[in-house]
Structure 1
Amino acid sequence: MEALLYISVFIIAIAIALFVIYVIITLKSTTKTLEQTSATIKSLEVQMKGITTESEQLLKKTNALADDVQRKSDSLQVLFDSSKDLGESLKSVNQSVRQVTTKVNAETSRNAETVSQAIQWGQAVLDFYTKFKQRKQQLEQKHSREEL
C-alpha cells in the first residue's frame, strides 16, 4: 500500500510538473503575444500622431478655405445686390417707356384726324410753293430770252 501511495504521489508530481510546464509554455506564448501587441500599439500610436497632425493641418486648411469662400461669397453678394438694383431700374425704365408709349398712342389716336389734316395742308402749301417757284423761274427765263 505504501507503494501505491508512492506511485500516487509520483503521478501527482508528474501531473503538477506537466501542469507547470504547460502554464510556463502558455505564459511564454502570452508574453510574446503581449510584446507583439505592445509593439503594434506603439506603432499605432506613432501612426495616430501622424494622422492627428495631418488631420489638424487639413482642418486648418479647410477652415481657411471656408473663410475664403465666405469672403468671396460676401463680395459676390454686393454684385448680386447691384444686379438686383439694375434689374429694378430697368423695370422702372420699361414701365416709364410703356406709359409714354401708351400716352403717345392715345394722343395719336385722338389727334390722328388733326394730324392728317395738318399733313394735307402742309403738302398743299408745299405744292403751291413749288409751283410758284417754277413759274417764277419760267418767267425769269422768258424775260431773259426776250432781253437777248
Structure 2
Amino acid sequence: MDIIISVSVALIAVAFVVLVYFLSRALKSLQLTLDNVAVTLDSLEKQLDGVTRETTDLLHKTNKIAEDVQKKADSLNTVFSAVQDFGQSVQKVNHSVRKVTDQITMETERQSKQISQTVQWGNAALNLWEKWKLKKSNVEASTKQYSRGGV
C-alpha cells in the first residue's frame, strides 16, 4: 500500500507539473494577447485624440461660417427692406398718377360739352370772318371796277 501511495503521489505530482506547464502556456498566450490589445488601445486612443481635435476644429470653423452667414443675412435684410420701401413708394406714385388721371378724365368729360360748343362757336366765327373777308373783297373789287369805269 505504500507503493500505491507513492505512485499516486508521483502521479499527482506529474499531473500537477503538466497542469502547471499548460497553465503557464495559456497564461503566456493570454499575456501576448493582452499586450496586443494594449498596443491597439494605445493606437486607438491616439487616433481618437486626433479625430477629436479635428472635430473640434471643424466645429469652430462651422460656427465661424454660421456667424458669417448670419451677418450677411442680416445685411441682406436691410437691402430687402429698402427694396420693399422702394416698392411701396412706387405704388404710392402709381396711385397718385392714377388719381390725377382719373380727375383729368372726369374733368375732361365734364367739360367736353363746353369744349365742343367752344369749337362750334370758333368754327362759326371763322366762317363769319371768311364770309366778311369775301364780302369785303367783293365790295372793294366792285368799287375799283366802278372807279375805273367812271374815270
Runs of 4+ in 1 over 3 A off after TM superposition: 119-129
- Quote the residue 1:39 is aligned against: 39
Q: How does 1:128-143 map to 2 (within 5 A)?
A: 131=130
Instruction: Note the residue ranges of structure 1 that are not aligned, 5 or more in a row.
Output: 143-148
Instruction: Note the residue ranges of structure 2 that are not aligned, 5 or more in a row.
Output: 142-151
- Quote the residue 2:98 is aligned against: 98
TM-score by length of 2: 0.74
Deviation sequence 1:16-44 (CA, Å, 0-9, x none): 22221222112111111111111111111
> Quick one: distance in 2 between partners of 1:68 and 1:127?
82
> What amino acid is aligned across from residue 105 of structure 1 in structure 2?
T
> What amino acid is aligned across from residue 42 of structure 1 in structure 2?
D
> What amino acid is aligned across from residue 87 of structure 2 in structure 1?
G
Offset at 1:122? 4.3
How many residues align structurally? Answer: 136
- Quote the residue 1:78 is aligned against: 78
Instruction: Give the number of the structure whose alpha-carbon radius of gyration is greater.
Output: 2
C-alpha spacing 1:3/1:86, structure 2 compared with 1 (3 Å): same
C-alpha spacing 1:54/1:125, structure 2 compared with 1 (3 Å): farther
SS in 2 for 1:111: helix
Say if 2:24 is the partner of 1:24: yes
Q: Bigger CA drift: 67-76 or 47-56?
A: 47-56
TM-score by length of 1: 0.76
C-alpha spacing 1:26/1:104, structure 2 compared with 1 (3 Å): same
C-alpha spacing 1:119/1:40, structure 2 compared with 1 (3 Å): farther
